[in-house]
Amino acid sequence: MGGLGVRKISSISLPAFLSSVHSTSELVRKILSPSLASFEVPCLTDAVEAWKMACPLTDLPVHPSSQRQWDVPLCSIIRESLINSSSNAAERARLLAVGEWESGLWLQALPSPYIGTMLDDITFRLAVCLRLGAPCVSPHCCHCGERVDGSGHHGLSCRRSAGRISRHASINDIIRRALASAGVPAVLEPNGLVRDDGKRPDGMSLLPWKMGRPLVWDATCVDTLAPSHLLSTAACAGAAASAAEDLKRRKYSNLVGNYCFEPFGVETLGPWGPGAHSLYKEIAHKLFDSTRDQKAGYFFGQKISIAIQRGNAASLLGTFPSDSDADEYFDA
């Protein structure tokens, strides 16, 4: 829900106790019933009442032995409290964005350099700071002349962003490789699909995708906290990615008749647009059919999430003067 998965003992003690009691009650009864006519777990009633007070509008779990069912309502209340008490639009937009399922996929990835899922120390540190809204750099002046505050957010939307091109190329390569693994070879920047302005979509499958038509996709990554998007992203998670996908559809409207065009819009803080979700589900389904690995699609999503974090880090580092030591600009 926007955190790092590192929990306080005080926050998980109540759901852990309640689920443990209910999951072991039958076993305890079998052990003690020969000697005790009845037994009662101390503090169980108090614990249930404490949970009801914390979640007054929530029904008791259907499966009380599940810690998740006791825990999720508590986490949801904390998250809603944070969102409602956010002091500005940027903070609210961040909380909404990082709470999306796809925004935290990079945290679940196995950090292995052999499969490209290892984040270096600096990238990991900056990714954590952006996710938690913590200061990550010392205030300084960007190459473009704008002032960069401690949050470093300017680098994500700077017109001279250093991570934009590499992130865009990485996302497209991940999609192409996933299609190849699913038995659908594809090429990047296909010839013959150039628009009037000379631009072309990012990729096209070499085999039919649906209804005898090949897949054509175009990826884009927009900044969640950019001033032009802040009004919409502070109201709805993924609004900037959705708007970017709509723009892509209008730009490539001439392809709809002969191709299955799908934009793949993502945001710097993690959320995906509807088109990205749709294409992800289709590719994940084909990956499962091809590999019989139930997690193949999940790994595909993790790589997209990691590519976004690497692009963010490159964008933040790109605001530092080229002749300086980057360590000087990291917030202590």
pLDDT single digits (tens) 239-268: 999 999 999 999 998 888 889 999 999 999
For the chain, percent helix, then strand, then coil, each to nearest 5?
Answer: 50, 10, 40
**What pLDDT score does 193 carry?**
78
Does 283 fall in a domain? Answer: yes
Lookup result for tokens 């002749």: 323
Does 4 fall in a domain? Answer: no
**What pLDDT score does 324 carry?**
62
Let me know: does 200 contact 190? Beta carbons within 8 Å. yes
Whether residue 118 sits in one domain with residue 55:
no
Whether residue 188 sits in one domain with residue 267:
yes
Does 260 fall in a domain? Answer: yes
Predicted confidence band of residue 20 (pLDDT cuts 50, 70, 90): very high
Let me know: does 216 contact 259? Beta carbons within 8 Å. yes
Does 119 fall in a domain? Answer: yes
Whether residue 158 sits in one domain with residue 146:
yes
Whether residue 199 sits in one domain with residue 77:
no
Whether residue 80 sits in one domain with residue 117:
no
Does 3 fall in a domain? Answer: no
Whether residue 308 sits in one domain with residue 185:
yes
Last residue of one domain, picked from the residues 28, 54, 85: 85
Does 196 fall in a domain? Answer: yes
Whether residue 98 sits in one domain with residue 81:
no
Whether residue 80 sits in one domain with residue 135:
no
Does 203 fall in a domain? Answer: yes
| Average pLDDT rounded to a whole number, residues 227-248 | 96
Select the highest-mean-pLDDT range: 38-42, 138-142, 245-249.
Answer: 245-249
Q: What is the pLDDT of residues 165-187, one digit of tens each?
A: 999 999 999 999 999 999 999 99
The conformation of residue 194, written as its DSSP 8-state character, comes to -
Whether residue 174 sits in one domain with residue 53:
no
Domain holding 19, by residue range, is 9-85
Last residue of one domain, picked from the residues 64, 85, 106: 85
| Average pLDDT rounded to a whole number, residues 310-325 | 84
| In the predicted structure, residue 330 carries a pLDDT above the cut 70 | no
Whether residue 163 sits in one domain with residue 307:
yes
Last residue of one domain, picked from the residues 27, 50, 85: 85
The pair of structure tokens assigned to 288 is 């499962």
Whether residue 285 sits in one domain with residue 239:
yes
Q: How many domains does the chain have?
A: 2
Question: Residue-wise over 157-191: b if at least 16 C-beta within 10 A, else e?
Answer: bbeebbbbeebbebbbebbbebbebbebebeeebe
Does 58 fall in a domain? Answer: yes
Q: How far is CA 223 from CA 97, 153, 320, in A?
A: 11, 9, 19
Whether residue 103 sits in one domain with residue 68:
no
